[in-house]
Structure 1
Amino acid sequence: MAISDKTRKKLWAKSGNRCSICKTELFSNKEKAEDLNIGEECHIISSKPTGPRYKEGLDDYDLYDNLVLLCRNHHKEIDTLTDTYTEELLRYIKQNHENWVSTTLNNSKTKKEKPKFISRITSGKELLNIISDSYGYRIDYDEVDNEEDADFIGGILQDLTDYGDISGMVEVYDKVKMALDLSKLLETIEEKGYFLFAEDNIENIKFKDGGTDKWKIATILIRKKDNPEIIKFDLSNETNKSDN
């Protein structure tokens, strides 16, 4: 059997058009750009005896409960690192992501949108502090013009989420080296004509069973240097001070 249209729509809707692991937006049809779809409907339990996490006896392997929406990178990762990404872990990831999507949508409906300002990051240590021990990531970037930039931005965002995922498992010595590597990464980003903005917040997450928990969520934005949304302040310039 194949995944039905009804199941496909339910999976994408409940996943919020985001990868269940890195929260990357999977489908974009922005103006002046070709439609880009990097989302993949991944089986938790494979229907093939030689496939990842195969289990005999399921009536239908294409049901909603056996599917998780991921980006291409994380699809490849879960099907390669099967000892790490067990059936139980993937079901946990799927449920937590759908809870996060539901909470985010509910908050956006009930809260009035306010102007949001996020600081540019220039220090690897500062960036590491933001992404360390995060339970989730909100990621955005300016539209890319070519495949080289797409590979570059995609690689940067993947590296940052990977650093965040392993940061809680390394010693202080390794964290110092990671911070240095991130400083060099920031230099490379700026050499390519981009700035990186980031922040972290502790958010109250509500679950379907009525329980709540506090999660650290990191927001990471990559913007072109000429993006008109960027507001520049010269704090050393006396003209910025009020005359009153």
Structure 2
Amino acid sequence: MDPSDEMPAQFRGEVAHIVGERPDGPRGESELPLQQRNHESNLVLLCFNHHNEIDGNVQQYPVNRLYSIKAAHKSWVTDRLTLEAPWQTTLHNFYYLNVPRLQVLSAISGASLDLSRYGQVVALHEMGWELGGLMAGFQQLLEQVELKAIPMRNALSLGSDARGLIVSFDDRFRTKNITMPQTTEEYRTAVRGDLQTDPQIYLRANERKITMVVDPRWITTTTAFVQFRPSGGQNQFAGLGLVNAVGDDSMSITPLVIGLPSNPFMEALYSNA
């Protein structure tokens, strides 16, 4: 794959002590024994900036307040997890595979797919016969990894709290600006961060416009391009996406996988083939 698409490993936070680890440290004046100070119940994960902020403003962030903040966040996470359920939709055919994003999600879940045999890939639909093996590998990967998602329309009710969630969808979308690039440079520059010109699919639901920018590099076949630019300017798409941003009247989702949902007739037909 293109090395520029790889995401380098980065530290995202620091483990902070609520009651200080040492008596002379921030919030360290306590009868809590050292063993308990290093227990999970006395630790909280913070970003670098907030770690410095709470340790530099002990009066503003006393022990009781930090315990309350931790409890509230734990409750919030629990509520979000109860909204999620394993994605059970089987896609009969892949129209779109966001390879870099799927690789990251798979690695987080402890699974992986070795793509080194394919070398540098500019666009999936130009891979020729090897594309079948890659799509079969991702099919198995999605079956192995228990991707948790909530229905996209349910996520709308969460407002800004939906950011970062994986959502599932099976809806009729309108299509815009999706054409097949003719050169490598056109593939690399198709997405510029401008919704007026970026290739995308979108719909309106619950008074919000839901937009998914479609990177032509990850459209799987020439036939799939046709699905993204039908004559009527709209089509039925199913798949998974990651919520990036939520506004008062909008929601931005990065599509992870888009395809044609299977059904009992397809399952019976192809299982007997």
Q: TM-score range by the shorter chain?
A: 0.3 to 0.5
Give me the TM-score of the superposition, normalised by structure 1.
Answer: 0.36
- Rg (Cα) greater in structure: 2
Higher share of residues assigned strand = 2
Give me the TM-score of the superposition, normalised by structure 2.
Answer: 0.32
